[in-house]
Each structure stands twice: as C-alpha cells, then as structure tokens.
Chain A
Amino acid sequence: MSAERLLAESAADLITWQERLLSPLIDHRLQLLCSVVVGALLGLLGGFVVLRRMSLIGDAIAHAVLPGVVIAFLLVSTGVTGLFVGALAAGVVTAVAISLVTRFSRAKEDAAIGIVFTAMFAVGVILISRLPAGTHFDLKCFLFGDPLAITETDWHSILLIAPVVVGTILLLFHPLKLLSFDPVLARTMGFNTSLLHYVLMILLSATIVAALRSVGVIMAVAMLVTPAATAYQLTNRLWLLLTVSTALGGLSAAVGMFLAFQFNNPPGPMMVLVATVVFLLAMALAPERGFLAVALRRRRIRRHILEEDVLKMLARFEEAPQRAGASLAAALTPADPRAIGRAVEDLARDGLVTRGDPEPTLTSVGRARAQEMLRAHRLWETYLAQEGAAERHLHDEAERLEHAHELAEELDRTLGRPAADPQGKTIPRPEG
C-alpha cells in the first residue's frame, strides 16, 4: 500500500469521524444556538436567583406559567407573542400571589410558594383537559422540552428576549446588586424594591417561556440554579459570578446537546447533567471552598501542629534531664508513630533537629522555635487560669491554642508579662 493512499484513507477516516460527531450539530445548528442562548440567559438570571435565595420562586414560576401558556394557546392558538403575554401574566400573578399569601397568612414563604405554584399548575392541567378536540398541547414537551422541535419562530422570540434580559441587567446592575445584598438599605434609600423584584420576575418568566422548548420547565429550573451555584463556588465578585454563570449555562447547553447526539439521549436532561457534573467538580476542586482544598489545608495544619509538638517535647526533654532517653512516640501518644517519624524527617530537612539515636536533638534554630512554643503554651495557661478555666482543663486547652502563637506577644502584654505560669514553670522570653 502506498503511503499516499494510506494518508488519503486516514484523511477520509478523519472526515467521516468529524461528520459523525459534528454533523448532527451542524444539521441542528438553529436548535443548538437557541439552547445555548437560553442556557446563558438562565445562567445570568440564576446569579440573582441564587444570591437572593429565590431558587424556589424560580421553580414556582417555571411551573406556574402553564395556565398562562394554555390560555394563550386557547385564545390565539400558536402565536408566539400570545404565549409570551400569557406566560408573563401567569409569572407576575404567581409572584404577587406568593407575596400576598406570605403577608396575609401565617404561612412562611416556602409554604406560600408550595401553595401557589401547585394551584397554578393544577389549573393549567385542567385547562389542558378542556382544550377543544383537535388541538394538541404536549404537556410532556412543556415539562421536559424538545430541542429538536425548535423552529425559526422560537429563534426569533429568543432574539427578542435576549437583548431585553441582558440590557435590563446591565442597566439596573447596581440597584439589583443592592437589592440582593441589602434589600432593607435599598428601601431606606427610596428604591422601589417590589418593582425591582417584579422586573426580575418578569425577565425570569420571559426567559422560561423561551426555554420551554429547549429544556422544558423542570430542566429550566436546573439551568437557573446549577450554573449560578457553580459560579458562586468559584468567585467572590458579583460581576464575575454573573459572567461565569452565563458562560457555564451556555456551555452546559452546548456540551449537553453534543453528548445527547453522541449517545442518543434526550438533550434537555443531558444539558442538566453536564451542568451538574461541572457543579460537582467545582464543589470538590474550587480553590478556597472546595472540599479538596479544605481537606488539604486541614492536613497541612495537622502536620504543622505535630511538628511543633515534636519540637516542644524535645525542649521539655532538655529541660528535665531525668526524662533523657524517654521516647518521643510515648510522650506524644496518641499521635501515630509513623506520622511522628515523618514530622521528624521534615524538621531535620528544615534544619530544626538533627537525627539521633534513639531520639533526635534540637539544633539551635529548633531550640529557639521550641522556646516560642513553650512560651505560647505557658502564656495561654496563665491567661486561661485568669479567665477562670478549671485547672484540669488548662493543659489541654493551652495545648490546642498554643499553635496560634502569633498571638503570644499580645497575650504577654495583656497579662503584664508574667514570669511563670500557674504551675510555676518559667515563661521563656524572646532573646534581646
């Protein structure tokens, strides 16, 4: 076989491979585009929804638009404008009804939400059963979406909604930030917080209607909450949170759709699963708050504390010659002897101890550090005794607190530089 033919064949292979992967997406680029934009919009609004702890209200509005959509369907049949007006009306009615129930009954907000949205949803389902014969309203599509059924009309409505949502958020960014962080302050400054709240609700209702076809209401709630919660895990700035959340919403939609074609799964749920996987990754790996980072930090602190305990114990051995030859492992029970071994190795590497037989000895640098520890320990014991802590708890408590030795100097000053601790042991002073 000639090299040229081999090359040509593999090139052909590559093309078929590409086609197999990408051609469904190219064939459905309109549907892909719609889903990505809708995912991004939900991500953007989701930032405010999550920060204002309104995920449940998002859920409620998503379900409660049903009667609005059905009534619009009854009155004007298929017109997209009619659907939007119906859904907006239902969304606003839901938001208002939730506030009214909260205000005029003993039910708290979560119960009010439960009451209102199930009632709205029930009305919607009954209306569907009353639709005249011959009309077809697909409840399953309403709930779970059907991106492949997206048409040019849907794209046009998204083109209408996206700039309105993004523009409103940009225009009202500061008041919305204030509303989310401190609604009471916003009111004392004369901002109409109800108006701002309903503006958000209207944007949300409109976006959910636009999202109906691509992901359906149930999945829309996931796309509203999950990318925003992911972004919240990753950043400490609001604008960055909104940017990341928007990007993640769009990205989850794209990747979800791609995977749906690959594995022949329904697209809506795939988008949600992608968003969920990203969230789980962020939960585990986020730089500060991720549980991996937290676990590593804890481990680092634990090792550091053990090293300090070794230093201090060696200093105690030096202080009391009768204890010479005592075993570190025995003195530091219940610490794991292997962990002690590792700590000694680290300390030797840092030049704080020299390995010896049977136990290591302190270098002069190590001795100075150990004295710092002893000083912190005895200062804490003195302080705790003064605060009235029972004597039998003094040692254990000081054993824990001494590792915060950056506080020792301030503690010493506050205590009036005592010479000895409650047991009469000398409190070492830093040299010079």
Chain B
Amino acid sequence: MAAEVSVRRPPRLSAAPALEVAGLTVSYRQQPVLRHVDVAVPEGQLVAVIGPNGAGKSTLLKAVLGLLPIDAGEIRVLGRPIAQARTHVAYVPQTDSADWDFPITVREVVLMGRYRALGYFGRPRAADHARVSAALETVGMTAYADRHIRQLSGGQQQRVFLARALAQEARVLLLDEPFAGVDARTEAAIFELMDRFSQAGQTLIVVNHNLQILDRFDAVLMLNRVVIAYGPPAEVVSADNLRRLYGGRMSFVDEAERALREGPADVR
C-alpha cells in the first residue's frame, strides 16, 4: 500500500477529476432510472450517495462501471472512458450479492483483486501474493486468511471485499452499501478504513443509508432519479433538501413517461 499522506486531500497534478458524469440518462426496461445526472468528483474525495430505494444509486455505480447501456450523456473516469480506465476502478458490491457457500478461502477472494492484472492466462506470482497479504493486514483480516468465507460475520465479509479492492490498487473505489447489515461498531470500523484509504489519496464513492454520518464525508450526492443536491455536507444536508430527496415529486414525470411509452390515456 502507498505510504499514508499526513496532509488531508493532497493536491494532485492530474487535472482530470476522478469521476465526471455529464447529462447521464439510464433506463431500465424503457423506464428512465437516472435523468440528466451531472456530477464531478475531484480525486481523493470521500463521497456519499444517498437517496430512497429505487432512486438509481446502484444504477449510477453500475453505469460508471460500464455494466449498463446508457441512453445519453458521458462518463469519464480519470479523464478517460471507463473501457480505458478499468485498471484504476474497483467495485465493492453489496455483501449479500455474493455466494458465501462458494468453495473458496478469504485469501483466494482477495487474490481475485489481482486477476485483472493477470489477464486470461496469467498465474498469480509472489508479488501478487505479497499484495494480498498486505491488503489483508490493512483491513485486519490476516488471522482469517485461510478460513472458508462462510465462517465470516457481515462486517468481516465487508472487510474482505475492501481488501480485494485494495489488492486491485485502484484509484477510484465504488462501494455499494458497505454498511448494510452491520452493527454500529462494525460500521465505525469500516468507515475508519474508508477514511484511511481516502487519506492515502484514493477516491471513494459510497452508496450509503446512514444519514447520521454524512458530515464525515467530503461531499454528499443526493440522488432521486435526478440530482437533488451535490456538495459538501455542510451546504447540502438540510431539512429542505432531505424532504425533497425522500418526499419525491417525480411521479408527474413518471406519468408523462408512461403516457409517451404506452400512448396517452385517451388513446389507451
């Protein structure tokens, strides 16, 4: 792992933001999920993405990762299209998306972080194994390295995924609800890890449900199909914005979309 930098948010020479999303529209089964989303995240920031269920938070992450076709707009990671920036991006999925019965040890899961570097036919070398050990050490999972993954608690599962992202040596980390299903103490420990990554210069974009800890992020993206607000928590986290975020006034647009898709009411 890179040496930790003592100054928070060290200035970067590269001018390109870690993530730049412009006019992004994404649909699922012809139903727009995200509309005209504009977001720019400077490198080294710790950003929370909040919003109600179905607001398109996971969709945003998946679109950035190039997993979904986009209708309109542009996404650039470190100034490049995602296809040319994959080496620098790591995805940390929700822990309940994984098959914890799979015959695999903790160390093997983390080693998967090296697979992109290995390509289709490569074999892990000593250097890869060393990175895996270092990543396990950083997240405090060394003692569990050779256990089967089923024996882990929710917090430990999350640590393993974080270690895998570390082993990827990515500059931008996209995390989907890393706090889901863990208790308050584990949440604090995981947040501390993320904070350390961020201080070491990595950019973290975190889908998050806990409104209590928003002030500990550098920026908050309030997303409900459209960007409701985006900026430092002190500026955007307000009762008014939260009401707009969770109150939902999108139904008119949804109605209109449906009418355009299926024909207006008098035609139906």
Contact = CB atoms under 8 A, between A and B. Distances in A.
A271 interface: no
B134 to A, nearest CB: 20
Contact of A189 (B86, B104, B124, B148): B86
B50 interface: no
B91 A184 contact: yes
Interface string A180-202: 11101111111100000000000
Contacts of B103: 51, 232, 235-238, 240-241
A189 B116 contact: yes
Given A185-B91, A187-B67, A191-B120, A178 B98 contact: no
B122 A174 contact: yes
A428 interface: no
A237 B106 CA distance: 11
Contact of A181 (B67, B89, B104, B118): B104
Interface string B189-219: 0000000000000000000000000000000
Nearest to B65: A188
Nearest to A288: B148
Interface string B84-126: 0010011101000111001111001100100110101111100
A266 interface: no
A188 B65 CA distance: 6
Given A51-B103, A232-B103, A185 B86 contact: no
Contacts of A180: 102
Report the interface size class on chain A: 20 to 34
Interface in A193-250: 232, 235-238, 240-241
Contacts of A236: 103-105, 148
Contacts of B90: 188
A154 to B, nearest CB: 31
Contact of B91 (A177, A188, A235, A238): A188
Contact of B121 (A172, A185, A189): A172
Nearest to B150: A236
B112 A184 contact: no
B56 to A, nearest CB: 17
Contacts of B116: 189-191
B105 A188 contact: no
A177 B112 CA distance: 9
Contacts of A175: 115, 120
B44 to A, nearest CB: 21
B28 to A, nearest CB: 13
A189 B123 CA distance: 16
Contacts of B93: 182, 184-185
A171 interface: yes
Contacts of A184: 67, 91, 93, 97
A181 B148 contact: no
- Interface of chain A: mostly helix, strand, loop or mixed: helix
Interface residues of B, number: 28
Nearest to A238: B103
A178 B124 CA distance: 13
A188 B64 CA distance: 10
Interface in B27-60: none
B31 to A, nearest CB: 14
Contact of A178 (B99, B112, B121, B148): B112
B102 A51 contact: yes
A9 to B, nearest CB: 54
A282 to B, nearest CB: 14
Contact of B89 (A51, A188, A238, A240): A188
Contacts of B66: 187-188
Contacts of A178: 112, 115
Given A51-B102, A236-B103, A236-B105, A190 B120 contact: no
B115 to A, nearest CB: 5
For B104, B124, B148, which residue has the most chain A Cβ atoms within 10 angstroms?
A: B104
Max chain A C-beta neighbours (<10 A), residue from B66, B112, B118: B112
B99 A172 contact: no
B121 A181 contact: no
Contacts of A188: 65-67, 86, 89-91
Nearest to B165: A185
A185 B120 CA distance: 14
A43 to B, nearest CB: 15
A237 B104 contact: yes
Given A178-B112, A241-B103, A171 B67 contact: no
A240 B103 CA distance: 9
A415 B174 CA distance: 38
Contacts of B91: 184-185, 188
Interface string A26-55: 000000000000000000000000010000
Contact of B120 (A172, A181, A237, A241): A172
Contacts of B118: 174
A178 B115 CA distance: 8
B86 A181 contact: no
A171 B89 CA distance: 26
Nearest to A232: B103
A130 B67 CA distance: 46
B115 A238 contact: no
A318 to B, nearest CB: 38
Contacts of B121: 171-172
A185 B112 contact: yes
B97 A181 contact: no
Given A184-B91, A189-B116, A237 B67 contact: no
Given A174-B115, A181-B98, A188-B65, A237 B105 contact: yes
A181 B106 CA distance: 13
8 closest Cβ contacts across the A-B interface?
A189-B116, A236-B148, A188-B91, A190-B86, A188-B65, A236-B103, A238-B103, A181-B102
9 contacts: A177-B104, A181-B112, A182-B112, A185-B91, A188-B65, A188-B90, A191-B116, A236-B104, A237-B104
Given A187-B66, A188-B90, A189-B86, 17 more contacts: A172-B120, A174-B115, A178-B115, A181-B102, A182-B112, A184-B91, A184-B97, A185-B112, A186-B115, A187-B65, A188-B65, A188-B89, A235-B103, A236-B103, A236-B105, A236-B148, A240-B103
